[in-house]
Amino acid sequence: MRHFNERKIAIILLLYIFLIVFLTCNNIQIYINSINVLFWFSMCFYLIYNKNVGKIYINRKYLIFITIILAVYIILYFSLGIYFGFLKSPYNHTVVGFCKNILIEIIPIVGIEMSRYWLLNKNKSNKFSVIFITIIFILIEINFSNIVNASRKSLFIFLCETLIPIIFQNVFFSYLALKSSYILPLIFRISSSLVFIIMPIIPNLDWFINGTFKVLSTVIIYYLFKNKFIICHSKNIRYKDRLAYIVTIAICVLIVCFMVGLFIYEPIVILSNSMFPIFERGDVVIYKKINNEELKDIPENSIIIYTIENKNIVHRVVGKIKNEGTVLYKTKGDNNYVPDSELVKINQIKGIYQIHIKYVGFPSVWLYEHLNNDISAVKTE
C-alpha cells in the first residue's frame, strides 16, 4: 500500500471537511453519516496497516488516573440532572439502534484520535504545524448543519454550547496526543460516548450550563493532567505549584456554580431602568432563593425576582391578594408610573433581592439586545 506523508494526509482531511460543508450547504445530509464512518474506517485501516501509530502502550499510572477522572466527570454531569431535571435520551436503544450508534459515534472517534496523534507527533517541533493540525480537527468536529440558515441567536447559542467547548476539547486532546499517545483521549472519548449511548436519560441542561460545564471540565482535567505529567516526569515538584493548581480549580468551580445557580444566592443581569434609582440597566442583582413557606408570606415593599414568558423581572411588591388558599402579588417598578398589569403567582417567583453590583452586566445587556432586538419590558396598567 502506498505511503502518504503527513502533508498529504492533512490535505485529505481538508478535502473531507470541504465535502461535508458542501453536502451540508446543499441539504444533502442523508449521506453524511455513511461517508463519515467509511472515511474514518479507511483512515484507521491505513494507519494501522502501515504501522504509523505504533504499538498500543499506556503507562499504568495514566490509565488509573484517567479512569478516576472519567468516573468523576460522568458522575458530576449526571448529578446536574438532580437539580435541573432529566429528559429522554435521543439515542435509539434497540439492538439495531445501539449497533448503529456505535458505528456512527465510535469509529470516527478512533480515526480522529489516531490521525491526530500521527500528524502531531510528525510535526511536534513545529508550533505552527501543531496549531494548524489542531484547527483542522476542530473543523472536523463541527456540525455545520447547525450553522446553515441559523439566526443570530441560534448562532450565539451554537457558539457557547458547541463551538467553544469543541475548541477547548480539541486543544486538550492535542495536548494529550503530544504528551503521551492517542490512547488517553480515546479512552476518555469512547467511554463517555458509550455512557451517553447506553443511558436512557440525560440531564436537561440549557445551552449556557451545558457549554459552561464542558469548558470548565476540560480546563480542570487539563490542569490535573498537566500536574500529573509534571509529577511523573520531574523529581522536584514545588508544593506551591501543586497548591496553585488546586486553588485555581476550586475558584473556577465555585464561580461557575454561583453563575449557574447551584447556591442559595444567584446573580441576574438587569435589562431595563424600571427600578431606577435603586439599580439600573447593566447592573447585576444578586437574589436569595426562598422556600415554599416564605413564598406565601413575602412582605410588601420587598423586591422580588420572578419570570413572565421566560423573562426575568425584578420589581417591588406593592400589594398581596389572598384568594381561596392561593397568594398573588401585585408588583411595580419604582421608575414606572403604574403597577404591572399581571399579578404574580408564587410559582413564578425565583427569590428576593439582596444586593446589586454596578455596571458589570453591560456586556450581557448589549449581547441580549443585539440578538433579540428588544429591551425587556413588563406591561403596566
* CA distance linking residue 24 with residue 77, whole number of Å: 31
Indicate which residue of 274, 283, 356, 376 is catalytic.
Answer: 274
Phi, psi of 277 (to 5 degrees): -100, 5
* CA distance linking residue 275 with residue 336, whole number of Å: 8
* CA distance linking residue 26 with residue 145, whole number of Å: 10
The question of whether 180 is a catalytic residue gets the answer no
Indicate which residue of 180, 315, 356, 376 is catalytic.
Answer: 315
Cβ neighbour number for residue 380 with a 10 Å cutoff: 15
Indicate which residue of 174, 181, 340, 356 is catalytic.
Answer: 340
DSSP secondary structure code for residue 122 in this structure: H
> Under a CB-based contact definition with an 8 Å cutoff, are residues 331 and 344 in contact?
yes
Phi, psi of 356 (to 5 degrees): -140, 160
The question of whether 181 is a catalytic residue gets the answer no
Residue 183: strand, helix, or coil: helix
* CA distance linking residue 244 with residue 380, whole number of Å: 52
Residues 6+ apart with CB under 8 A from 298: 290, 304, 317, 320, 329, 349, 352
Half-sphere exposure of 350 (CA within 13 A, CB side): 21
Q: What Å distances lie between residue 202 and 82, 87, 195, 237, CA to CA?
A: 11, 6, 10, 40
The question of whether 233 is a catalytic residue gets the answer no
- Residues classed as catalytic: 274, 315, 340
